[in-house]
Amino acid sequence: MIIVSGIVRLAQPVPADMHADMLAVLTATRTEAGCLTYSYAVDVLEPDLIRIYEEWETREALDAHSNAPHMPAWRQALARVGVAERKLVTIEAGAIAPLS
């Protein structure tokens, strides 16, 4: 499993009209082959910060996501608002067990 975790900090607080863009990319991505989890969360204390968390079955599935047809519209939405900072990492998960 490949985990993607990180943040995107915008140049301004997330505008209300951007929620439709977020919903579109989230909905489309969750139907992609190999996508296990795909979520964004606007930070309550930092309204310009979007926290990102994804889980993918394979690296190939994640790579295909970058070229998915709905991604250009999401990139345009981010550019429209302005990205001040972007920090994402990938983690190759080995043994996964429930936390008790």
Q: What is the mean pLDDT of each run of 10 residues along the chain (100 residues)?
A: 97 95 97 98 97 97 96 96 98 86
Q: Taking the CB of residue 88, how many other CB atoms lie within 10 A of it?
A: 11
Tell me, what's the pLDDT at 98? 86
**How many Å apart are CA 48 and CA 14, to the nearest integer?**
5
Matching CATH number, 2-92, of 3.40.1390.20, 3.30.70.2190, 3.30.70.100, 3.30.930.10: 3.30.70.100
The two three-digit tokens of residue 47, written as one number? 């309204």
Tokens 């900072």 identify what position? 85
Tell me, what's the pLDDT at 100? 84
The structural domains of the chain, with segments of one domain joined by +, span 2-92
Quote the distance between the C-alpha of residue 76 and its chain's center. 14
SS3 for the chain is CEEEEEEEEECCCCCCCHHHHHHHHHHHHCCCCCEEEEEEEECCCCCCEEEEEEEECCHHHHHHHHCCCCHHHHHHHHHHHCEEEEEEEEEECCCCCCCC
